[in-house]
Amino acid sequence: MSKLSTTFLGHTFANPLMNASGVYCMDATDLGALHTSDSGSYITKSCTLEARAGNPEPRYRATPLGSINSMGLPNKGYGYYLDLARAHDYSHKPLFMSVAGLSLADNLVMMRTIRDANLPAIVELNLSCPNVPGKPQIAYDFAAMDAMLAAVTKEYTRPIGVKMPPYFDIAHFDEAAAILNRYPTVAFITCINSIGNALVIDTESESVVIKPKDGFGGIGGDYVLPTALANVNAFYRRCPEKRVIGCGGVKTGEHVFQHLLAGASLVQVGTALQEEGPGIFARLNAELIALLDRKGYKNIDEVRGRLKTL
Ligand code: DHB
């Protein structure tokens, strides 16, 4: 066991790093690159019942401080990812599947089929897609979120995780956590999805930079690190029976360390992976090891949740 190895939901991970769903995970080529990378695990693109082409391009743009996207859930349909999950070599690294049905009924169909396939893949149920025109995020509608979790956890009784959007108010942390705590099989919480519906403007062209939704899209990268850390720590404190996966603003080993301090068990990489490619995992692992060594930590489990307050 190396310094970076850890266990999560009964699976062993060589290190805490993985992609954020949406990045490098649309098809077998992308996922193959993650498989051979130095990530500890990886996750498939959020899937729907049927394949989708997604929103018109350009629909992703990098900026000096991060990225903006409004992809619109392009994906190959859940059957494609389920077939890959059937063929996956779980002894090499664990695999997550992201599920993002356009309705409760669609999620139930997908979750039943995934259940019946009886695979070691871990489901992350996406409650926070901000980019499908006319479909508000479930996790910003607490009654809808509660109803979704009640129905899904009744059908799918194995442990699952939920991908959450950022919240910005203590009352919302309290309410969201109270709902999640009603569902013991919600075993992990991934914080955060992009900060939704932001607007990047290019001064020279006096224009938006992505085509869908008049330029509105979810932002990631440097813009979101403090919001991500706050959400990780807020849910870590409020949901002691659950694990937290950190996601947001990670581009150095130091950022991974900060997510671990805030309470993350695993850490996802989005914008920085998109910009740097899967070679980023070797760099982040090396930077994290150097930081753990300098601080005298023997493993990452010692770091988790150790954040000090003043
Ligand atoms: C998309 C974006 C998201 O943030 C998400 O959670 C799911 C899908 C997208 O636009 O494809």
| Residues 224-250: tens digit of each pLDDT | 999 999 999 999 999 999 999 999 999
Please say if the pLDDT value at position 135 is more than 90.
no
Instruction: Quote the pLDDT of residue 163.
Output: 98
* pLDDT at res. 134: 86
Is 25 one of the catalytic residues? no
Mean pLDDT of the chain: 98
Selecting among 25, 47, 129, 247, the annotated active-site residue is 129
Distance between Cα 73 and ligand 1 center (Å): 5
Name the residue at shortest CA distance from atom 8 of ligand 1: 73
From the CB of 23, is ligand 1 less than 6 Å away?
Answer: no
> What is the share, in percent, of the chain residues with pLDDT greater than 90?
97
Q: What is the Å distance from ligand 1's center to 130 Cα?
A: 6
Phi and psi (nearest 5°) for 119?
-105, 160
For residue 136, the model assigns a pLDDT of 86
Is 36 a residue whose pLDDT tops 70? yes
Distances in Å between the Cα of 55 and the Cα atoms of 77, 128, 204, 213, 294 are 16, 17, 25, 9, 46
Q: Is 271 in the pocket of ligand 1 (CB under 6 A)?
A: no
Q: Measured from the CB, is residue 46 less than 6 Å from ligand 1?
A: yes
Digit-coded pLDDT (tens) for 266-294: 999 999 999 999 999 999 999 999 999 99
pLDDT tens digits, 65-102: 999 999 999 999 999 999 999 999 999 999 999 999 99
Say if ligand 1 is within 6 A of residue 137 CB.
no
Residue 132's pLDDT is 86
pLDDT at 133: 84
**Res. 5 pLDDT band, cuts 50 70 90:** very high
CA of 24 to the centre of ligand 1 (A): 13
Q: Looking at residues 162-175, what average pLDDT do you find?
A: 98
Query: Of the residues 30, 46, 76, 99, which should be mutated to test ligand 1's pocket, given the most ligand atoms within 8 Å of the CB?
Result: 46
Q: Is the CB of 253 under 6 A from ligand 1?
A: no
Closest ligand 1 atom number to CA of residue 218 = 4
Closest-CA residue, ligand 1 atom 5, reads 129
Q: What is the pLDDT of residue 214?
A: 98
Percent of the chain topping pLDDT 70: 100
Q: All domains of the chain, ordered by start, with CATH?
A: 6-54+73-195+222-302 (3.20.20.70)
Give the whole-angstrom CA distance, residue 24 versus residue 38: 14
Instruction: Identify the pLDDT of residue 1.
Output: 56
221 pLDDT above the threshold of 80: yes
Our mutation pick for probing the ligand 1 site, out of 48, 52, 131, 135, counting the most ligand atoms within 8 A of Cβ, is: 131
Q: Is the pLDDT of residue 44 over 60?
A: yes
